[in-house]
Structure 1
Amino acid sequence: MQEEIFVGIDLGTTFCCCHFFNTQTNKYECINYLNGNSTIPSTVDFFTQPVSVGIPKPTAICEVKRFIGKKFDDEQVQEDINKNYFPYQIVKAEDGYCLVVVDYPDKEEERVEPEVVSAIVLKAIKIEIQRRLNIKDNISLRAVVTVPAYFDDSQKDRTKKAVLMAGFSLIRLLAEPSAAAYAYGLESTKDQMYLAFDLGGGTLDVTILEKKGEEFKFRATGGDVHLGGLDFDMNFMELVISKMKEVDEKKARRFILKGSDSRSQKKMKKQRRYRLRKEVEKAKIELSANSYCELDLSELVDEDEFIISIDRSEFEECNKKE
């Protein structure tokens, strides 16, 4: 009987995916989740009992990869907080790192480390692997987990902690550009330079790799830790809110956070903004194929009909780098 299974996990900012090595076929196969998708959203909703994973909701904790192993006073962390990107609160731990404020329906809030949230997502992936392969906990799941090339030691250490908390045996953390190179079969090509361009949900990574034999060496790494699908969505959402103001300023104010807002008002507005962001994301995808789209926001603003029209040039303009 096989005593260990080898798996590769892409622990992404917005989505995760996993492949395992099938000893019957000598091939890697993708783990599909109950909804049939090959990816699972990197979200955890503590407000439901039991805790739900992979179901985006206004009450869910999401995109914690931006905070894992990061100091609260870090400039990029403060930028995210000030832009009100997330429907939850980030606070400062005694050691200076970030903590996520978790709300429960029937008890007081709790403060948890971002890696705890990641561990819960990884645990859900582990359970799905066991279900798919019909194996028990006595079978070791040995994992290679990807991380951005720019992750520092603190971010890597806390990612390792999440992997171990989820019950995997960690073989190694692998830089995402290297993982991409192996996935495309570049280890069997001739020795030369390659450029890996990875525009994800949370970050942009651009890496030049040099292949020598079956090894890849980083020659240069760059990118932008605040340039990903999330940032496109947030810029787009602010454009939509400005268009809402032109139609009905009172309704638009439901989505605009102010310093004078009470804690309950901020919480409600952040959840409204999350729902709006999901609608905006759909429109962004539609604009990939069409030059024009309409956002039906009637349900969000409690109207029989409230439609905002957007064309692709407006989306592109609001996402130009200053």
Structure 2
Amino acid sequence: MKLKLLYSDLKSDLDVIEKELATAVNSSSHLLNEASLHLLLAGGKRIRPVFVLLSAKFGDYSIDSIKNVAVPVELIHMASLVHDDVIDDAETRRGRETVKTQWNNRVAMYTGDFLFARAIEYITVLENTYAHEVLSHTMVELCIGEILQIEDKHLIDQTVRDYLRRIKRKTAILISASCALGAIASGADEKTIRHLKRFGYYVGMSFQIIDDILDITSTDEQLGKPAGSDLLQGNITLPVLYVKNEPTIAPLLKEMLDGSISEDNKQQLLTEIRNSEAINHAKQVSNMYLQKALNEVKQLPANSAKKSLQNIALFMSKRKF
């Protein structure tokens, strides 16, 4: 089953979000418009707006007001991707040239800054100050996550705790905020907001761990970028942490992180990791977070969105690519 089938009933509202995103990235600068639209047209799962919409179903749902939350969380996600690609020197994303490749690093950085600013501008229509606090805190944590990733690059002497702290800030916190903001904007009660916020955090952790597993186990075609690109960029992920000291892996890993590895040795390293127990260990950690997310769903009031949240969490944490 495709992910979009799990929230097909939201299609008309997501179309509203998509049109609003196109409006949001518009500016008086032709170059900025081109760069922003290049990123927007690359598509994506739009999973963060989906979580906003589903979470809003636990309150007084109105797409006209909820879009003012769904749009900024996606803009923040887009901005973080543009900045990520500069930091990682990535040439492709989702099978397309990145903004930095199509233009240059300076254009990419200002495009990301512009999208961040637009996100702040959009949410100002909400009078609820808690929503502003959640969004601003999320943006601060995202930036800290980016810096942590830079600090941890090529650093083999790091722990699982370091990794989990990093992915919390880089991925989980924005999904958590998406769920919380949807509920806040629709006027859901405090207990429901807390459960949705925790649900988003656990789903985000599970999702990112699976993403890091797939970076090693998937093909270039499935990923839309070279397999093992995280490692090539010096990012140490959970599966790698579990096998970094293995005799057959350690020397190849050092070559990879030094940037001196041949294509044959790179493929050998990926094969060694794929055939190790590291993949299963990482999947177990992802599943632990998934179960925590499902436990939060159980505490939510009964409605159609509850089942959708459960199904999406299961899909995201069990996907093959």
TM-score w.r.t. structure 2 length? Answer: 0.26
The structure with higher relative contact order (CA 8 Å, sep 6+) is 2
TM-score w.r.t. structure 1 length? Answer: 0.26
More strand by share: 1
Which of 1 and 2 has greater Rg? 1
More helix by share: 2
